[in-house]
Amino acid sequence: MKDCLAAPVLPRYRTDSASRFLVTFAVSALVTAGSTQAQERDPMLFYDSNGLKIRGHLQFGLNAVAERNLFWDLAASTAPGSGFDADTNWLEGYMKPGVSFEYQLDASAVLYGKLSAVSSYTWGTDAFDTGDNGETTLEEAYLAIRGQLGAGLSYDLSVGPRELSLGTGMLVSNGATSGFERGALKFGPRKAWEKAAIAKLSYGNLTGTAFYLDPNELPSKDGKNELAGVDLRYDDPAGGYLGATFVSVLNSETPYPQAAPGGVGAPSVTPGAREDTKTIGLYAKTNPFEGGLQNWTFTGDFAYQWNDRIDLEAWAGRVTAGYTFANVPWTPNVTLGYQSFSGDDPDTTKLERFDPLYYQGSPSAWATGSKSASTFINSNVNALTLAVRLQPTRQDTVTLRYAHIRANELNSPVQFGQATRVDINGNVVSGVTDSHLADDVFLEYSRIINRNTFLTAGVSVSFPGAGIDNVINGSADPWTGGFVNVVINF
């Protein structure tokens, strides 16, 4: 379905023997240590003596998914020979074993580290027409040291694969890719960067972070990306924060698409365009208010992006306002937000399409819609969002999310280059001819079964807008789906 708005299907990749050995070793280490050192107060604490702690980690999950009229079944019109089935069900699962340690070097320094792996699989065919496959990969393998320098200064230095999320997750958060040949598309259990060097220095409530990162990309789609930058953040004890992030792409083979002049014609694609792209992001959240604004919370994010080598200048941002009905049963919280990511203007020679880098794409973070987030990355889109959260009990949470999604630029790539087609006048066009893309509704239920077990279920529907309808010169049907999953974490 390469001509559809959704992401292209990638070839499969088989599990390598080294990864299988890693998981076998990690599981064996957990079992052996657990049988000899398990502590009554924490069964995963294998050893705690003479300043050394060794702890096991084990997380696994199972997710059942059903999708109907996937991607509004655009493939039936734009790629009728692809054989893509818009109705599918699948089951996916993953296991993440690991072991970590801490060793007290002296009164002011601790040496620590972690080794973990992810084994994931998909049974059946998923949304991107792949399945019955999976992979085992290294997740975390880092060594670190943290301690005090005196006068209120502390440090934390680490080298090796590990997770790192900065700010609100707008630019730097998801360091690894799941799905496709690796399986577990919806779960996305991989988070750690394949290579990471991270240095943190803190003074009171102020933290500075310098980083070098190499994402854990799909072997079949490795863009050879390397990032470096700094983050400076102030956390107020009352709960608010203020921060700034600078990210520079040191190396990349990732291409950028650019709209054809006037929007007529296929987009041009520049290989390796991401290299030298720089981004500055600002993020903030208010402290609790008193008086008339009590129970209100406001957040703001803004990013400016440029690359002089390819004449790129882009921007993105988000504002939210949330109100909690603190004295009402079920403690309702209502959050209204607006987020926007610039697209390439077909009437200029400059490239204005925002590159979202490695954002956190969950519905509670930076997803643009629920269903639509699988189709539109955070480029050339904007969304007005509404979330209503209820908590009937301490263990149960119900959230209703709505997103009205539009394109910022017409006849310009929305995701990458998909939906490039010949219009009724015989012109090759890309993107959409009407800005209204979709309206997504997502109802989610979460339950904390116990301290280690979590249940989540959801149903969602995406109603196509005129921009989608015009792609097929007709009226597209809604895209619906649901899921239920259980995650166990020790």
At 126-144, the pLDDT tens digits run 999 999 999 999 999 999 9
Cα dihedral 345→351→353→357 (10° resolution): 180
Q: How far apart are CA 60 and CA 116, in angstroms?
A: 13
Look-up: residue for tokens 């280059």?
Answer: 417
pLDDT for 31 beyond 80: no
Range among 25-34, 248-257, 424-433, 467-476 rated most confident: 248-257
- At residue 24 the predicted structure's pLDDT band, cuts being 50, 70 and 90, is very low
Which of 86-95, 205-214, 464-473 is the least confident region? 464-473
Question: Which of 65, 112, 8, 2 is closest to 457 using CA atoms?
Answer: 65
Q: Are 319 and 340 in contact (CB under 8 A)?
A: no
- At residue 77 the predicted structure's pLDDT band, cuts being 50, 70 and 90, is confident
Position with higher pLDDT, 419 vs 236: 236
> What is the per-residue pLDDT for 33?
41
How would you label 302-321 residue by residue, b for 16+ Cβ within 10 Å and e otherwise? Answer: bbbbbbeebebebebbbebe
Q: What radius of gyration, in Å, describes the C-alpha atoms of the chain?
A: 23
> What is the per-residue pLDDT for 18?
35
Q: Tell me, what DSSP letter sits at residue 468? A: H
Q: How far apart are CA 473 and CA 306, in angstroms?
A: 36
pLDDT for 157 beyond 50: yes
- At residue 227 the predicted structure's pLDDT band, cuts being 50, 70 and 90, is very high
Backbone phi and psi for residue 29, each to the nearest 5 degrees, phi listed first: -65, -40
> What is the per-residue pLDDT for 425?
60
> What is the per-residue pLDDT for 40?
55
Look-up: residue for tokens 């520079």?
Answer: 248
Question: Which of 211, 204, 298, 300 is closest to 247 using CA atoms?
Answer: 211
**Mean pLDDT of the chain, nearest integer:** 90
What value does the mean pLDDT take over residues 243-264? Answer: 95
pLDDT for 9 beyond 60: no
Position with higher pLDDT, 188 vs 25: 188
The C-alpha angle 183, 184, 185, rounded to 5 degrees, equals 95
> What is the per-residue pLDDT for 354?
97
Q: What percent of the chain has pLDDT over 90?
A: 81
pLDDT for 4 beyond 90: no
Q: Are 172 and 164 in contact (CB under 8 A)?
A: yes
Distance of CA 327 to the CA centre of its chain: 34
pLDDT for 346 beyond 80: yes
Neighbouring residues of 406: CB distance < 8 A, sequence distance ≥ 6: 381, 382, 383, 435, 436, 437, 465, 467
pLDDT in tens, 168-183: 999 999 999 999 999 9
Question: Which secondary-structure segment (H or E) carries 32?
Answer: helix 17-37
Q: Tell me, what DSSP letter sits at residue 219? A: G
Q: How far apart are CA 122 and CA 183, in angstroms?
A: 5
Q: How far apart are CA 316 and CA 382, in angstroms?
A: 9
Position with higher pLDDT, 221 vs 340: 340
pLDDT for 37 beyond 80: no
Residue 145 CB-density burial (10 A; 0-12 exposed, 13-18 middle, 19+ buried): middle
Range among 31-35, 269-273, 438-442 rated most confident: 438-442
Position with higher pLDDT, 251 vs 25: 251
Q: How far apart are CA 306 and CA 354, in angstroms?
A: 9
What value does the mean pLDDT take over residues 19-39? Answer: 39
* CB count in 10 Å sphere of residue 398: 15
pLDDT for 16 beyond 80: no
> What is the per-residue pLDDT for 422?
63
- At residue 417 the predicted structure's pLDDT band, cuts being 50, 70 and 90, is low
Which of 70-84, 138-152, 330-344 is the least confident region? 70-84
Q: What percent of the chain has pLDDT over 70?
A: 89
What value does the mean pLDDT take over residues 391-395? Answer: 97
What value does the mean pLDDT take over residues 231-256? Answer: 97
Q: Are 278 and 364 in contact (CB under 8 A)?
A: no
Look-up: residue for tokens 């979202």?
Answer: 356
Q: How far apart are CA 357 and CA 249, in angstroms?
A: 9
pLDDT for 69 beyond 80: yes
Q: How far apart are CA 160 and CA 172, in angstroms?
A: 17
pLDDT for 215 beyond 50: yes
Position with higher pLDDT, 421 vs 237: 237
pLDDT for 49 beyond 80: yes
> What is the per-residue pLDDT for 10?
30
